[in-house]
Structure 1
Amino acid sequence: MSLHTLADGTAIPLPPMPAPTPLSDVMGATEAHCDVRAVVAVQVALTRDMLAVALEDAAGRNWDEHPDTWSVAYIRESVELYLGQSGYLRLLESESLLVDFLEYEPPGEPRDRVQAVYRAIDRAYPNGR
């Protein structure tokens, strides 16, 4: 991870990326009494595995709800909230957790749930969009 703009303003080109998904929400100083100075948008390029980790960390604690029932809006807002609160570096540290889990976990409810999380990601972010 590095800056793509040098201190002198020179831009280093990025590789081709899918179009960003529209923002779901604005977090932070959203109460009426706040003197909001700026709304800063941060775009983060994520792999399918990274999206699944973010979703599982953000919404996976709701075991009474199944990922196959989650709406696209709920999935996207959960991923954005996770990134806003936990950050990209924590996601990088956890990126391989679900991949390893699927590889080594025997069939059963926990594995089925992780597969459902991946299906939810595919609904909310189809083909990289």
Structure 2
Amino acid sequence: MALLQLDILVVDDNFGSAFMMAEVFKRAGHQVRVAFGGNEAIRAAATQAPDVILMDINLPDLGGFEAAKRIKTLMPQVRVIGMSGLHVPPEMEGDMLIFEERLHKPIRPEQLLSTLDHLFEPGCKFE
């Protein structure tokens, strides 16, 4: 059970990946919701602001960069972790600054949990 129960929004158009991450977080004691696109993520976040969002960068409807930017404009306190299985070209590195952390797919369950621990540890720069 997690010491701090977080409200987590997982955003990934790969159903298997999204549900695997959701299951890891649920087993750790967190509340989890899943969205499969950028627009759906914005609606879900607007309905109930999550503590953290795991956002796939490459989404079919509205990309992860744009979705994260829109969410953070409305809710700057929400922490967003960017995820991608692809290499990010140098010209897009500036866009990556919207994310507090980045994860490269495939992501191991322990990576998910240690990234959350890092983001929410006492004295973290994002507090």
- With normalisation by structure 1, the TM-score equals 0.26
Higher strand share: 2
Q: Where is the helix percentage greater, Structure 1 or Structure 2?
A: 1
Which structure's relative contact order is higher, taking Cα pairs within 8 Å and 6+ residues apart? 1
